[in-house]
Amino acid sequence: MLDKTQLQNWINEYLQGTDYELITLNVSAGNDILVEVDRLAGVDVDFCAELNRFLVEKLDAVEPDYSLEVGSVSLTDPFKTKMQYEKNLGHDVEVLIDGKKLRGQLVSVDEETFSVDTVEKVAIEGKKRKETQIVTHTWRYDEPKYVKYDLKF
**pLDDT tens figures, 103-148:** 999 999 999 999 999 999 988 888 888 899 999 999 999 999 999 9
Q: What percent of the chain has pLDDT over 90?
A: 85
**Whole-number pLDDT of residue 153:** 60
The Cα-based distances of 90 to 22, 93, 104, 109 in angstroms read 23, 9, 10, 10
Domains of the chain: 4-72 (3.30.300), 82-149 (2.30.30.100)
Mean pLDDT of the chain: 94
Q: Is the pLDDT of residue 60 over 70?
A: yes
3-state secondary structure the chain: CCCHHHHHHHHHHHHCCCCCEEEEEEECCCCEEEEEEECCCCCCHHHHHHHHHHHHHHHHHHCCCCEEEEEECCCCCCCCCHHHHHHCCCCEEEEEECCEEEEEEEEEECCCEEEEEEEEEECCCCCCCCEEEEEEEEEECCCCCEEEECCCC
Report pLDDT for 126: 84
